[in-house]
């Protein structure tokens, strides 16, 4: 998995590419998230347009990110998910927990 970061006025954006299956890639993502929290950042948008596959470990990683920001008074928004990833969120009922948006612009407008 590859991670590209971008900062907007109101939040940090992460563009994830590849497969979110756990392993060393998960550690890299969690380290980047911890850096944001250490800097006092409160909001992050995860653009998942480039995520081709995700498994239960990937869902667990996103739940960890969500919990970390929520416990620090922040928020996590998911944007531009492929249909197979959206389906995974619906099946697991995580679509009821995460704020999910079709576009990045839509998510940014709710900041």
pLDDT tens digits, one per residue of 23-64 = 887 788 889 989 999 999 989 999 999 999 999 999 999 999
Provide the domain count of the chain: 1
- Kindly report, residue by residue over 61-97, the tens digit of the pLDDT: 999 999 999 999 999 999 999 999 999 999 999 999 9
Mean per-residue pLDDT over the chain, rounded: 92
Q: What is the Cα–Cα distance from 79 to 93, expressed in whole angstroms? A: 17
Residue 37 belongs to domain with CATH number: 3.30.750.24
Q: What is the Cα–Cα distance from 60 to 64, expressed in whole angstroms? A: 6
> What is the pTM for the complete model shown?
0.93
For residue 55, the enclosing domain spans: 2-108
Instruction: Look at residue 110 in the predicted model and tell me its pLDDT.
Output: 85
């Amino acid at each position: 998995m590859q991670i590209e970061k971008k900062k907007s006025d109101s939040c940090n954006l992460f563009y994830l590419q590849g497969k979110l299956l756990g392993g060393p890639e998960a550690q890299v993502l969690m380290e980047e998230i911890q850096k944001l929290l250490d800097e006092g950042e409160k909001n992050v948008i995860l653009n998942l347009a480039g995520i081709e596959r995700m498994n239960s470990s990937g869902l667990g990683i996103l739940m960890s990110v969500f919990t970390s920001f929520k416990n620090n008074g922040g928020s996590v928004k998911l944007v531009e998910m492929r249909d197979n990833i959206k389906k995974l969120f619906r099946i697991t009922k995580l679509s009821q927990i995460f704020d999910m948006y079709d576009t990045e612009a839509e998510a940014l407008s709710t900041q």
